[in-house]
Amino acid sequence: MAKINKKELVDFFLMESAEHFEAIQNGLLVLERDPGNWSVIDELFRSAHTIKGSAAMVGFKNVAHIAHSLEDTLDQLRKGNITPEEKLVTFLLDFVEKFNGLINKNKRDLNEQETEDFEKILEENITSEQKQQESTEQSDDSSAGKEGSETPEQTELAEEKSERVESATRKAILENADEKYNKTLDTSYSDEFIRIRLERLDNLLNLVGELITNKNRQTDRVHALKNLGVDLEYTKNRLMNIIKEFEEKYAYSMENLREMPAEDSTFADFSETEFDRYDDFNIFSRRLAEIGNDIVTIINDILTNFTYFTEETDYIGKITDSLQRNLTDIRMVPVDRLFNIALRTVRTASISENKLVNINLSGESIELDKSLIDALNEVIIHIIRNAVSHGIEDRKTRKKYGKNEEGIINLSASRESNIIVFEISDDGEGIDPAKLKDKAVELGILARYDADNMRADKVMDLI
């Protein structure tokens, strides 16, 4: 019986669990916008359940224990005991990210202290959230009868106070999460495995089968050509032997002819025509004609086999090209994984900046090499954070300029020939060149004189 490779099992678990953790994070974002989406809640629960079972299978008992606690929390969502409000979703997103990150960083089971910390954090936050939601519901009920009694001034003051509280709360959520979980951990999982669609594997197997079949045909052609070469060698030897015999015989005949008496009448009974028929030159020419025909036949067979050989070689070339494309496709993954990270980045950055920001995504089905997607993660995250922080205005400013309070970021992927193009834009006011130059002067990058005299088209190069 083959020995089970524990490392391969663990690596596969890390890859699979990372996908399920990502599915949980994406589902939470959907659930925040659509709390009544029961199918998403069920998918979240199934993902946590799968992580729990897989962790137990590879011997990660403590990971399985925390996954079970996460499963119970998601079950609370499913039963309606808690609702996916912003604070809860933020906590769960961060919890899942750090939980997944720690597993993938250490590539081992959690130790007792780590297990206790995760268990405590999860229990405290969920209990706190349940109490807060219950308190909010009671507060809403008690204040329902007071609506309409406030003056416009009181209403405006209440809105300003609410906005200040909301801003402080949104920032505290992230700060609190960072304090509890320490610094962000590496969430990249093992590169030794990659998920491949069964259809692509079938295509590869079919191509390999065709390649083997065609290879066997070419092997047969090579054997046929070798046999024709043997026949050609044999025919050549026949020709050389006949020529040699003729040379020897002709030399002997000429010598006897010179010695023959003039009155010898041996050939007197032969007519000139009959003599020509049996002339050595006549016999030699007929033999040469026969051998020539044999050679022509062999050459035609060789040319025919070369034609087949060329066609099959061309076909192998096509199969090889297709095989290369399919092998390349194996490493290709949809960019929606990158887009999901962008979606979470927008949410986190907007909470941190106390801004309302949404993101429009297009081209999620475009595929790119996995290594390139991994390399683009940090780039996309950095650009989106800049767009939220510096591009899109706060709600009051947007309202002042007649804009919708919710800022929009557009992220798209498209294919242009053999190039994948990513485009990121937003509907904010953009970067203020004057502020950018002031910042450059403040950081000592530019002297004030140089900043004041810098051409407008060069200012953005400071970024």
Q: How confident is the model at residue 425 (pLDDT cuts 50, 70, 90)?
A: very high
What pLDDT, on a 0 to 100 scale, did the predictor assign at position 185?
A: 34
Structure confidence at residue 259 as a pLDDT band (50, 70, 90) = low
In this structure, are strands 367-369 and 332-334 parallel, antiparallel, or unpaired?
antiparallel
Which domains are delineated in the chain? 6-138+166-181 (1.20.120.160), 198-330 (1.10.287), 333-430 (3.30.565.10)
Q: What is the mean pLDDT of residues 387-406?
A: 89
Q: Mean pLDDT for the chain?
A: 76
Is 50 exceeded by the pLDDT of residue 124? Answer: yes
Q: What is the pLDDT of residue 169?
A: 44
pLDDT-derived band of residue 233, with 50, 70 and 90 as boundaries? confident
Better pLDDT: 291 or 421: 421
Q: How far apart are the first and last CA of the chain?
A: 61
- Position 369 scores a pLDDT of 82
Rounded CA-CA distance 90/348 in Å is: 8
| DSSP assignment of 74-126 | HHHHHHTSS---HHHHHHHHHHHHHHHHHHHHHTS---HHHHHHHHHHHHHHH
356 with 406: CB under 8 angstroms? Answer: yes
Instruction: Retrieve residue 277's tokens.
Output: 């028929």
Per residue in 57-74, pLDDT (tens digit) is 888 888 888 899 888 888
Q: Supply the pLDDT for residue 181.
A: 35
Taking residues 66-88, what's their average pLDDT? 85
**236 or 392, higher pLDDT:** 392
Q: Which residues contact 431 (CB under 8 A, 6 or more apart)?
A: 390, 391, 460, 463
- Reported as a pLDDT band with limits 50, 70 and 90, residue 141 is low
Calpha distance 36→34 (Å, rounded): 6
Residue 411 has pLDDT above 80, yes or no: yes
In the chain, the amino acid numbered 334 is P
**Mean per-residue pLDDT, 306-326:** 78
- pLDDT value for 183: 35
* Lowest-pLDDT range of 72-86, 296-310, 414-428: 296-310
- Give the residue, 145 or 189, on which the prediction is more confident: 145
Per-residue H/E/C for 361-419: EECCCCEEEHHHHHHHHHHHHHHHHHHHHHHCCCHHHHHHCCCCCEEEEEEEEEEECCE
Over residues 17-23, the mean pLDDT reads: 86
Per-residue pLDDT band at 186 (split at 50, 70, 90): very low
Q: Determine the Cα–Cα distance for residues 29 and 26; give it in Å rounded to an integer.
A: 5
Interatomic CA distance for residues 312 and 304, integer angstroms: 12
pLDDT at 269 over 60: no
What letter would DSSP give residue 461?
Answer: G
245 pLDDT above the threshold of 70: yes
Give pLDDT, residue 3: 54
Alpha carbons 386 and 388: distance in angstroms, whole number: 5
Query: Residue 371's Cα: distance from chain center in Å?
Result: 7
Number of H helices, E strands in the chain: 15, 5
Cα atoms in the 13 Å half-sphere on the side-chain side of 372: 14
Mean pLDDT to the nearest integer, 343-353? 87
∠ Cα 299 303 306 (to 5°): 135
pTM, to two decimals: 0.55
pLDDT at 14 over 70: yes
Higher pLDDT, 359 or 460: 359
**Which pLDDT score is estimated for 281?**
67
For residue 87, pLDDT over 70 is answered with yes
> How confident is residue 179, by pLDDT bands cut at 50, 70 and 90?
very low
Average pLDDT over residues 78-94: 84
Flag whether pLDDT at 147 surpasses 60. Answer: no
| CA neighbours closer than 13 Å in the CB half-sphere of residue 333 | 15
DSSP 307-323: HHHHHHHHHHHHHHHHH
